[in-house]
């Protein structure tokens, strides 16, 4: 072996030895780093770690959705995601989460496998939901539960054999039915049939609120009686379910919401719920409908009606509500029939009325429906020009017979480019009318009370950029006089 070859071998050997020393040094440094990091985790504190358990629990509660619904499943949220995730962050968070029963009272459960959303479990959704309900009920510690039951993407509104066995879930629900305070159900025909068969001996002792979105076409002349034995039931949201299809303790119900209503459905619901205090009806435009008998409801105090009118008779023609204190009418069409129906209704049912909300008032100049009312709050949306001029003229001139105790006024405007002049006149008239009314009331002219709250709202996308600054001068004067004034468009406050 020559000297050159030997020299190369010696250099390679030296480099390998040096590399081995460096690798050993890196390994030692990595080990030391891991030791220091572990020691840091054991000894260091983070700001959240210094919070008392009670404050951390409040933060957890604020992280919850306001109320779990089937819509949360539509958005892809897993059942119990918030409390489960919080309980898996660290040992302390888990201890806090498990010590807060309120964190576990809301639960949304999908019990349908064939609903268009992948099932990530080997077990059926009904079985998994049974396990999850059991877990929530246990960790809620006896607190009353709010339960949303249905399917994440309803594709079950069809005939055929049921694709789910709800028996395992119903057995768990039966054990905990006395702890359910609120329940919403969104199911199709096949699942409803199974649910009806398995729900005969449920005991909803503390159930106070029911919300439904059901296919009841399969019932025929029968009734769905899952909630027939619920002595504490007070609030019912029927969705589009006909009240005749539901076996409920109607005499107890004090709040009712119903969609896709006809006048006949509304009257049927009011007759059954004799102690109803609040009713909300969304009407459907059906020209030919059975003529219902007129109903006098002695205790209903709040009525909300949303309608798209294509039938001649107005729903108010069939009601007489002597105890009514709040009326909201949101209509897409105001014609002579509407004016006459509202006038007759208020003559018979307006003696106790204090709050009136009109979504689109009549187009004429007569204020006769409002004459003689003792309103304290009036809200008008999409105000017609002629209507506005007459209304604010009466308010301005302090007619002693016109709304003498009006305390709060809200006007909503939806501006259009071809209506700028009209709407600017309305803006001027509102401020001027209330300013004059309050000044005369303060000076002792007449027996009117001053208006203490004034709101002028523009639609979110209709900023009144074109209005001159002096259009809001009267509003600023009113604010200086102590009136609660809000003039705004969307999130922008002008005054």
- Residue-wise pLDDT tens digits, 350-390: 999 999 998 876 656 678 888 888 999 999 887 777 787 88
In this prediction, what percent of the chain has a pLDDT beyond 90?
24
pLDDT of residue 324: 96
pLDDT digits (tens, 9 = 90+) for 156-169: 444 445 455 677 88
Indicate if the pLDDT at residue 399 is higher than 70. Answer: no
pLDDT digits (tens, 9 = 90+) for 197-216: 767 778 899 999 999 887 66
Collapse the DSSP code of 162 into the 3-class scheme (helix H, G, I; strand E, B; otherwise coil) and give the result: coil
CA-based nearest residue to 145, from 107, 195, 173: 107
Residue 439 backbone dihedrals phi, psi, to 5 degrees: -65, -45
pLDDT digits (tens, 9 = 90+) for 115-131: 555 555 667 778 888 88
CB contact set of 456 (below 8 Å; sequence gap of 6+): 410, 411, 413, 427, 430, 431, 475, 486, 487, 488
- Domain ranges within the chain, ordered by starting residue: 49-237, 254-341, 354-495
pLDDT digits (tens, 9 = 90+) for 54-75: 888 888 888 776 666 655 554 4
CB 456 within 8 A of CB 418: no
Indicate if the pLDDT at residue 436 is higher than 70. Answer: yes
CB contact set of 280 (below 8 Å; sequence gap of 6+): 256, 257, 258, 303, 304, 305, 306
H or E segment at 264? helix 263-272
Indicate if the pLDDT at residue 231 is higher than 70. Answer: yes
pTM value > 0.85: no
Collapse the DSSP code of 170 into the 3-class scheme (helix H, G, I; strand E, B; otherwise coil) and give the result: helix
Structure tokens of 197? 């068969």
Structure tokens of 238? 């029927």
Indicate if the pLDDT at residue 312 is higher than 60. Answer: no
Strand partners, 110: 150
Collapse the DSSP code of 475 into the 3-class scheme (helix H, G, I; strand E, B; otherwise coil) and give the result: helix
Collapse the DSSP code of 45 into the 3-class scheme (helix H, G, I; strand E, B; otherwise coil) and give the result: coil
CB 490 within 8 A of CB 465: no
Structure tokens of 337? 């029939």
In this prediction, what percent of the chain has a pLDDT beyond 70?
78
């Amino acid at each position: 072996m020559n000297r050159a070859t030997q020299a190369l071998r010696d250099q390679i050997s030296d480099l390998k030895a040096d590399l081995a020393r460096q690798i050993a040094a890196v390994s030692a440094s990595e080990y030391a780093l891991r030791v220091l990091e572990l020691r840091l985790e054991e000894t260091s504190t983070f700001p959240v770690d210094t919070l008392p358990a009670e404050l951390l629990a409040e933060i957890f509660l604020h992280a919850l959705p306001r109320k779990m619904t089937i819509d949360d499943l539509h958005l892809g949220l897993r059942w119990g995601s918030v409390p489960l995730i919080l309980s898996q962050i660290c040992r302390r968070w888990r201890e806090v989460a498990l010590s807060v029963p309120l964190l576990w009272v809301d639960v949304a459960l999908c019990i349908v496998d064939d609903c268009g959303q992948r099932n990530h479990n080997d077990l059926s959704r009904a079985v998994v939901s049974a396990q999850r309900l059991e877990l929530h009920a246990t960790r809620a510690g006896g607190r009353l539960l709010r339960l949303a039951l249905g399917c994440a993407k309803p594709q079950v509104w069809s005939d055929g054999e049921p694709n789910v066995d709800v028996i395992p879930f119903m057995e768990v629900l039966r054990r905990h039915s006395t702890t359910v305070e609120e329940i919403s159900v969104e199911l199709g025909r096949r699942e409803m049939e199974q649910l009806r068969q398995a729900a005969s001996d449920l005991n909803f002792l503390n159930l106070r609120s029911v919300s439904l979105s059901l296919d009841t076409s399969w019932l025929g002349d029968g009734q769905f009686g899952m909630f027939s034995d619920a002595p504490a039931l007070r609030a019912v949201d029927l969705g589009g379910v006909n009240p005749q299809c539901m076996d409920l303790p109607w005499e107890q119900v004090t709040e009712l919401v119903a969609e896709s209503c006809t006048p006949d459905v509304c009257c049927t619901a009011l007759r059954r719920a004799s102690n109803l205090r609040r009713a909300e009806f969304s009407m459907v435009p059906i020209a030919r409908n059975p003529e219902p008998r007129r109903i006098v409801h002695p205790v209903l105090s709040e009525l909300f009606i949303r309608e798209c009118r294509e039938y001649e008779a107005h729903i108010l023609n069939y009601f007489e509500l002597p105890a009514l204190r709040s009326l909201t009418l949101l209509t897409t069409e105001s014609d002579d029939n509407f004016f006459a129906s509202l006038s007759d209704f208020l003559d018979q049912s307006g003696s106790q009325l204090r709050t009136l909300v009109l979504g689109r008032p009549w187009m004429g100049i007569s204020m006769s429906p409002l004459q003689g009312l003792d309103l304290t709050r009036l809200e008008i949306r999409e105000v017609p020009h002629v209507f506005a001029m007459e209304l604010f003229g009466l308010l301005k001139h302090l007619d002693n017979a016109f709304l003498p105790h009006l305390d709060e006024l809200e006007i909503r405007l939806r501006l259009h480019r071809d209506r700028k002049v009209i709407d600017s006149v309305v803006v001027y008239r509102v401020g001027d009318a209330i300013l004059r009314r309050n000044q005369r009331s303060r000076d002792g002219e007449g027996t009117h009370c001053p208006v203490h709250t004034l709101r002028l709202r523009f639609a979110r996308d209709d900023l009144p950029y074109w209005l001159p600054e002096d259009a809001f001068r009267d509003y600023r004067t009113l604010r200086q006089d102590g009136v609660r004034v809000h003039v705004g468009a969307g999130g922008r406050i002008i005054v």
